Amino acid sequence: MLTKVMVFGALAVLVGCATKPADQPAAAAAPADAEKPSAAPPAGFDNTRIAPEVTIPAGTTVRVRLNQALDTKHDRAGEAFTATLAEPIVIAEQTIVPKGTEFRGHVTASGASGRLKGRAVLGVTLDSFDLKGKSYKIDTSADSRASTGHKKRNGLLIGGGAGLGAALGAVAGGGGGALIGAGAGAAAGTAGAAATGKKNVGFPAETLLTFSLRTPVRI
């Protein structure tokens, strides 16, 4: 009996020695609510370059130089033209539209004078401009030019014709001839004024034109 107990005791010691105790605890599971890293911004992204919108107020002066000549002889109302900004548009000490920006416009009025009266008139206005790949529509005042009147020139032509006619009539037929000659000379002077009196007016290329915004522009 004692022998059996000793045998079972020896077997128990051997089994205990053969069993290796766990010497390392299981790794702790990551908490479910652990914060995930935020997504990185796209390559090349720079949020410091995102500028807030700026409004160019109504009444702002816009000064441009014409890229081509315009005149009442060749250009009709509605025809388009281009111009270049001559002075930057600055708001709160910040340049909003730089010098050299291209503007587009159209002729608002174009008409030669009559042959004996009236003035030639040419008017233009701006319609839009391009900035950083985007087009902005604008509404501006018009800039215009008008020719001088006919009165002085017609008086010289008609009066000069009458005087010359009177002189020639006097040589030809005395006093009566002078009266006839004066009438004929005046008629000839009037005809000459009518034939040559039509006037035109225009803007040469590079002319500096000044406009004013009628409505605000949001950039």
Q: What is the DSSP secondary structure assignment for residue 72, as one 8-state letter?
A: T
- State how far the alpha carbon of 188 is from the alpha carbons of 28, 168, 169, 173, in Å: 117, 13, 14, 19
Instruction: Determine the average pLDDT of the residues in 71-89.
Output: 97
Tens of pLDDT, residue by residue over 170-188, are 545 555 544 455 555 544 4
Instruction: Determine the average pLDDT of the residues in 31-35.
Output: 53
Tens of pLDDT, residue by residue over 115-171, are 454 789 999 999 999 999 999 999 999 999 997 654 544 444 445 555 544 544 554
Average pLDDT in the chain: 74
For the beta carbon of residue 178, count every other beta carbon within 10 angstroms: 18
Query: Rounded to two decimals, what is the model's pTM?
Result: 0.56
Tens of pLDDT, residue by residue over 186-206, are 444 444 444 445 689 999 999
In one letter, which amino acid is 14?
L
Q: Is the pLDDT confidence value at 75 over 90?
A: yes
